[in-house]
Structure 1
Amino acid sequence: MVLKAAAQPGATTPPRHVAIIMDGNGRWATNRGWPRLVGHRRGAERVKQIVRACPDLGVDWLTVYAFSTENWKRSTEEVLGLMKIFRRYIQREADGLAAEGVRMRFIGGRERLDDKLQALMSGIEARTAGNTRLNLTVAINYGGRDEILRASTRLAAKIASGQISEPTEADFAACLDTAGCPDPDLVIRSSGETRTSNFLPYQAAYAEYEFTPTLWPDFTPDHLAEILDRFGLRDRRFGGV
């Protein structure tokens, strides 16, 4: 049973958009004497549970950090294993996501991903484009600095072509991978690490952060509900008083 986030007296508005740095898969497996990929597979199963819990918890947008631009530094075996897990996840979950009203999209540079994975990503994006129950965004080969650089290049091209004369923040946001998505209200990182690790640096400028010691494969919908309760007690002033 999922513990629903409870309304708190004087609470702030529940987070519409939650972003998660899913950290600790490898350590979870290593602590048990298992290969790191076992942890990544268990982490993918946990994503399924969190996705299904979000609508009942009042979350409309969920963004998860699956693979960063820095993760290519890992062993070839682990990288190839992760790409296989991504392909299997999309193939196995496509029907369920479509049936449950989940819209799935991806952010990050796709050019380094293999053709089969890119095709699967484009296919599920098209198939679920009309869904509205939950917006799920998966960051693969994503890095915030890389995204900002690519967005700056797009904006410069628009200025050079005369499409934009005096660029605004809205013009820049429209050039980001997350164009059309609201900024995250809450960013969660599992595993006890307290770094933001190049995840949505522009979009999360005013987000609240929660760092939990729980390793991602152990992170349950009840953990999420508890964090949402704590979010409800925060006073978000956005520079005001």
Structure 2
Amino acid sequence: MDYSNLKVPNHVALIVDGNGRWATERGLSRSKGHEQGFVNVKKLSRYIFSKGINYLSAYLFSTENFKRSKAEVDFLMNLLTGRMKDILDFCREDKIKVVFSGRREGLSDKVMKTILEIEDETKDYDKVFNLCFNYGGHAEIVDATKKIVNDVESGKLNIDDLNEDNYSHYLYQDLPPVDLLIRTSGEMRLSNFLLWQVSYAEFYFPKTYFPDFDEKEFDKAIIEYTKRDRRFGGINYEDKSN
């Protein structure tokens, strides 16, 4: 679809949701749903970047997901390392930087090795694919605050100089605010995702499970985003009803 007459967000955040339910409704194992989800991550993200979006954050695995069965957690960890090569290949071809947001403590050596290699191989590119893995919004804010305390105690930062702009430097990744947040599967909650970054984002909650959320579904999200009036706390003087 031609985006020339549409508003194109600079930063899209995507909560990948519904993989397990997609599989269950088809009589498949949850692992098959996660596999199909990762296939779609590659396909959809490539399309998103081709439409002029500069930043994409994808919520792949939360800190809370460790509460799932050990078998499912182990499968997801292995799936990440196995599918990262596919993501790396297209990011290298399309010159997209891959970064990871999340706590790295507790991740296996294999997962960490994969993360570090991909970050290093793509570090010189401009567009950014932010993969949120072992991520939690509360954890990110707590970890950022700890870094600030350390810098204040060491004399690197004067506490009076701390503001909303430089606070973001202490987050896992210093990226622009999210413009559009999409959560698939019909669930209408943030689930602890990018709490600092989505303060003025537009939200879009399609009922489609993520494995079926294709290019046409994303186009619908952009059409809806184009209709929105982003006021950032101000007033639209053509409509003062609110």
Cα pair 2:11 2:56 within 8 Å, conserved: yes
Higher relative contact order (CA 8 A, sep 6+): 1
**What is aligned with 2:234?**
240
Matched, 1:215 2:209: yes
Matched, 1:164 2:157: yes
> Would you tell me which structure has more helix in proportion to its own residues?
2
- TM-score using structure 2 length: 0.93
Structure 1, gaps ≥5 residues long: none
In 2: Cα distance, 1:114 partner to 1:192 partner? 32
In 2: Cα distance, 1:93 partner to 1:159 partner? 38
**What is aligned with 2:239?**
none
Deviation of the 1:218 alpha carbon: 0.2
**What is aligned with 1:226?**
220
In 1: Cα distance, 2:209 partner to 2:89 partner? 28
Matched, 1:80 2:74: yes
Deviating 4+ runs (over 4 angstroms): none
**What is aligned with 2:135?**
142
- Structure 1 residues 30-39 or 165-174, which shifts more? 165-174
Structure 2, gaps ≥5 residues long: 236-242
CA RMSD of aligned residues (A): 1.2
- The 5 A counterparts of 1:100-179 are 100-132=94-126, 134-165=127-158, 166=160, 167-179=162-174
**What is aligned with 2:42?**
48
- TM-score using structure 1 length: 0.93
Cα pair 1:4 1:56 within 8 Å, conserved: no
**What is aligned with 1:92?**
86
Matched, 1:5 2:3: yes
In 1: Cα distance, 2:64 partner to 2:115 partner? 21
Q: Deviations over 1:39-86 (max 9, x none)?
A: 000000101111110133221111000000000010111101101110
In 2: Cα distance, 1:123 partner to 1:196 partner? 30
- Paired AA for residue 147 in structure 2: R
Deviation of the 1:229 alpha carbon: 1.2
Deviation of the 1:16 alpha carbon: 0.6
SS where residue 70 of structure 1 aligns? helix
Cα pair 1:185 1:206 within 8 Å, conserved: yes
SS where residue 174 of structure 1 aligns? helix
SS where residue 99 of structure 2 aligns? strand
In 1: Cα distance, 2:88 partner to 2:186 partner? 32
**What is aligned with 2:177?**
183
Deviation of the 1:6 alpha carbon: 5.5
Cα pair 2:46 2:90 within 8 Å, conserved: no
- Paired AA for residue 115 in structure 2: M
- Paired AA for residue 223 in structure 1: E
Q: Deviations over 1:136-159 (max 9, x none)?
A: 010000000000000000011111
**What is aligned with 2:187?**
193
Q: Quick one: which of 2, 12, 20 aligns to 1:18?
A: 12
In 1: Cα distance, 2:9 partner to 2:5 partner? 12
Cα pair 1:57 1:225 within 8 Å, conserved: no
Cα pair 1:192 1:213 within 8 Å, conserved: yes
Q: Deviations over 1:127-180 (max 9, x none)?
A: 011122x3101000000000000000001111111222111112311110122x
- Paired AA for residue 13 in structure 2: A
Deviation of the 1:225 alpha carbon: 1.2
- Paired AA for residue 203 in structure 2: Y
The verdict on how the C-alpha distance between 1:194 and 1:235 changes in structure 2, with shifts beyond 3 A counting, is same
In 1: Cα distance, 2:87 partner to 2:185 partner? 25
